[in-house]
Structure 1
Amino acid sequence: MRCTLGVDVGTSSSKGVLVDDAGRILATAVLEHEVRRPHPGWVEMDGRIWWDEFVAITHELRAQCPDAEIAAVGVSGMGPCVLLADDDDVPVRPAILYGVDTRSGAQIDRITAELGPEAITAIGGSPLTSQAGGPKIAWIAEEEPDSYARARRLYMPASFLARRLTGAYVLDHQSASQTSPLYDVERGAWHEPWWDRIAPGIERPALRWAGDIAGWVTDAAADATGLQAGTPVIAGTIDAWTEAVSVGAHEVGDLMLMYGTTMFLIATGAHTLRTPSMWTTVGAFEGTRNLAGGLATSGALTAWLRDLTSADYPTLLAEAAASGPGARGLAMLPYFAGERTPIQDPDARGVIAGLTLAHTRGDLYRAALEATALGVRHNVETMRAAGADIRRIVAVGGGTQGQLWLQIVSDATGLTQQVPQTTIGASYGAAFLAATATTAPGTEPRIAEWNPVVATITPNSATSAVYDALFDRYLRLYTGTTDVVHELAGTQREEVFA
């Protein structure tokens, strides 16, 4: 049976899927892993895990479906990450993850001052923030010079897998556009003067689009994985963009909401939009532009509450539903790991306001769900103020399995959400891209046929007044607590580094 393999390396797990020519899922596999947080604001991972888990997942999927003829391989992964490797492609240190890792603040300030904020925005699309890859590279060069001296190549999860599978050293345009300020979003090419200045000694990877074939499985990779030598492998891209592909939310006017460990939003348009508090990138496909944003916590926050209260998710969801809109007078800021967009504040921290002895864990869990929903609203309003034309909202990710969370987001934002049949996420999108890349012209699969919409979540107008008032409090709670919270963040750093 002809099929395609899709593997995605995420923040908390790697997922794999085998999909047939009609988009039916034949087999799935998941391997969980953990990030390392050695200091406040540091989030990193041993990049060698990515290949090890790819190999293990591929063997597991082939064992589940021994008759599968894997015609192509799709890869995807969290990002933008910075994994520097030596001449032998051995990582010189753990990978520094995307915007949840906020260690490069000094480099952001220095590079911005040296290059100028207007020039950075004109070339790279966005101001430098904790999401940008360039300052993370500079941090390694400045803080760990011995490691940097051995570094020769730059990888993200998808490109690292493509390298191990095919020997090709490539990076897709979308991922490259998040290594700001090293990539020119208008020219669609590396900005060589700034690359040589910020990443000296690092070879520039060849640029490809997400669905382009990066290369073909080598004999060595075939021996390790059991894949057939010569099998084509796509370049792949960052998981959020691959998730958008998996649900068909990559057309002009679309907005994708990814419910995962973090919450991610991608609005797609035909023209470049710039705003200081969001991320301007190129799209997964040639000719598209994105305005993107992300919450630093989402599923990570609900998992924290689950672990803290020793209750399972069904129990917490039932209790949160009973709590009702407004969580019986609680307001929460979800900034437990700092915050990315639109406030771009790595020193933000979680705040719970209004607590009394009468409040329950269900109220707290409801307040957490509402906090993430209000964070989505804050991002959407910022995108629209920048000129984003949002016509269709598609939800994807593990959080879509819970009706309550979806309904709260629709109620808090006033947005209707479409939920597709398959919400397994980026691994499915990677398999689709691989199928498209290896299908004869004119017979390419259509994601609307692979993965049709099966549910629509509409806002409940009866709750609009509650959430309008709560959103106002949400905004004022942040501004009203910022000074104290920043002092506490500084104390946290001092205690760790003392």
Structure 2
Amino acid sequence: MTFLLGIDIGTSSAKAVLFDVETSQIVAVAGQEYPINHPAPDRAEQDPDDWWRATVDVVKRVTSEAKVHSVAGISFSGQMHGTVMVGKDLKPVAPAIIWADQRTGATVGELIPLLGAEAYAAMAGTLPAAGFMAVTLLWLKQHDPALLGRIHKVMLPKDYVRMRMTGEVATDPSDAAATALFNVTTREWASNIVDKAGLPADILPDVRASVAVAGYLRADAAAELGLRAGTPIIMGSADQPAQQIGNGLIKPGRGSVTTGSGGQVSIPFVRQAGEVLRTDPRLHVFNHAVPDTWYVLGATLSAGLSLRWLRDLVGLKGVVEAYPILSAEAAAVSAGADGLIFLPYLSGERTPHMDALARGSFIGLSAHHTRGHLARAVMEGVTFALREALEISRELGVSVDTLIAAGGAMESDVWRHIQADVFGVPLQRTLLKEQASVGAALIAGVGAGVYRDFDEACQRTVKYGDITEPDAANHARYDVLYAHFRELYPRLKGDFHRLAEGW
């Protein structure tokens, strides 16, 4: 029997999946949480060695459960944007500054004018945002040059774990693209941005294809993990393209909508010969793990987080059935929540506003609205925000006729139907769980030669389940409400900023 090991280094936990190639099934899965440290209100840091300890734990658990200690390949999925800093001894010189860190908010405004928003996005596929490596390194240059001087190499979170296995420092194009320091067309570091920002180019890692062999499992790491030394270690990718692979999204035509803590619309596309890569400063165009493929990514910061906030606010915190209760109450309310609209900007917003000072709001609240109305309005408001990302993606010429629904919120029937109705596009779910970790396992399989390519890997592995079709009447109703939704942020932006800044 042939097994693959996929490891996901997420924001809150590490997860390992042991995958059986012959049956195309998960044999064992394990997760282990680790903390996000907040030494100041605007800081979000993690100890890279927490990732390693968690990885050792989950790998030993899945291999012990399945009584399997030899795999054909290992690869990775990882949280995006963050900055891991190591010295010449390849040990961390400081805690990793992850994507959720907000200390660099003001620095973003200094970096973009170096090229201008349109030119920056055309080269990097994205504008920088707080928590992106480009902005973090510029902040260190300005505020902690001594630390910057101690850095031998930087990398992304999953790269650190892979380095602990192989001793090799590198990253892949999909993770490099998420730094806002990478030329997504030429697939190399954007020297123009690096030079204009005055950053040391020598600390940036080599970039290797997501399916390239990064090295082989060293004896010391093998002993810790309980695996065979010499196992091929494949580069891996950022979590979004890994999840796309786990959902079978390797070609144009299908996209995914993920509603977890945050929300993402992600759609793969290819560039025709001689065609200039299309970008838009309001969202991200990043390199896929699939060769010669890119994907459009639009993100809203508070998707499931908005419903969790409401859950706590209305007295359901700690109630085991809190989300089913809110879903049932929301389902009893008609489309449009009886004139109540929610703006889901509880943590600022990315697509399309790129505004850290945007704030959440209920618009149209009246005495007859109930908890169910609030719950439905939250679900609809988050979905309207995701529709903005979908429509901008289409403006770039990216086609999509079906969306794969992912994320914990899609366990809610009512929220899934709301999304189909708002988008006017069928939603479908995959039957396999743990898409990011499975995607990492499939990357390992392609890189190790178990599969010929991603076409074969996905054809053998990905199976789809039920389809949620849009309701035409609700879609027409939501078109009207969506137009209202889009008008609200421009009207309220000044108020948001004044209130956020304390007048």
**Contact persistence 2:340–2:362 (CA under 8 A):** yes
Report the counterpart of residue 340 of structure 1 in structure 2.
Answer: 350
Q: Against the structure 1 CA distance between its residues 489 and 35, is the aligned structure 2 distance closer, same or farther, given a 3 Å change threshold?
A: farther
Percent pairwise identity: 30
Task: Choose 253-262 or 198-207, whichever is displaced more.
Answer: 198-207
Match of 1:474 in 2: 485
- CA positional deviation for 1:160: 1.1
Q: For residue 229 of structure 1, give the secondary structure of its aligned residue in structure 2.
A: coil
Secondary structure class of the residue paired with 1:419 = strand
Q: Distance in 2 between matches of 1:443 and 1:201?
A: 33
Aligned equivalent of 1:331, options 307, 331, 341: 341
CA separation of 1:443 and 1:343: change in aligned 2, threshold 3 A: closer
Aligned equivalents of 1:269 and 1:43: distance in 2? 33
The alpha carbon displacement at 1:121 in A equals 3.3
Mapped contact 1:43–1:96 kept (Cα < 8 A): yes
1:334 & 1:307 partners in 2: Cα distance? 16
Residues 431-466 of structure 1 show CA distances to partners (whole Å, capped at 9, x for unaligned) of 111122223564874313312111111111121233
Q: 1:288 aligns with which of 293, 297, 311?
A: 293
Could you say which residue in structure 2 is the equivalent of 1:228?
A: 228
> What are the residue-to-residue correspondences of 1:31-430 with 2, within 5 Å?
31-37=32-38, 42-67=43-68, 69-98=70-99, 100-130=100-130, 132-180=132-180, 182-192=181-191, 194-195=193-194, 197-200=197-200, 202-271=202-271, 272-308=277-313, 309=315, 310=317, 311=319, 312-430=322-440
Q: Deviations over 1:308-366 (max 9, x none)?
A: 33242222222221233222332111111111111111111111122234433332222
How far did residue 40 of structure 1 move? 5.5
Cα 1:57–1:256, aligned 2, differ >3 Å: closer, same or farther?
A: same
Shift of 1:202: 4.7
SS of 1:69's partner is coil
Give unpaired runs (5+ residues) of structure 1: none
The alignment partner of 1:221 has SS state of: helix
Give the distance between the partners of 2:156 and 2:330, measured in 1 at CA. Answer: 38
Partner of 2:274: none
SS at match of 2:356: coil
Cα distance in 1 for partners of 2:123, 2:458 equals 33
Q: Secondary structure at the match of 1:327?
A: coil
Question: 1:159 Cα shift?
Answer: 0.9
Normalised by the length of structure 1, the TM-score is 0.92
Q: CA deviation at 1:261?
A: 1.6
Q: Which runs of 5+ in 2 are unaligned?
A: 272-276
Contact 2:234 2:448 in 1 (8 A): no
Q: Secondary structure at the match of 1:448?
A: helix
- Take 2:36 and 2:357, find their aligned partners in 1: how far apart are those partners? 20
Q: How many residues are matched?
A: 490
Give me the whole-angstrom Cα distance separating, in 1, the residues matched to 2:269 and 2:415: 27
* Contact 1:397-1:423 at 8 Å conserved across structures: no
Structure 1 contact 273–291 (Cα < 8 Å) conserved: no
With the length of structure 2 as denominator, give the TM-score of the two structures. 0.91
Q: Give, in whole Å, the separation in 2 of the partners of 1:440 and 1:2.
A: 9
SS, match of residue 394 in structure 2: helix
Q: Which region of structure 1 is more displaced relative to structure 2, 84-93 or 245-254? A: 84-93
Counterpart of 1:55 in structure 2: which amino acid?
V
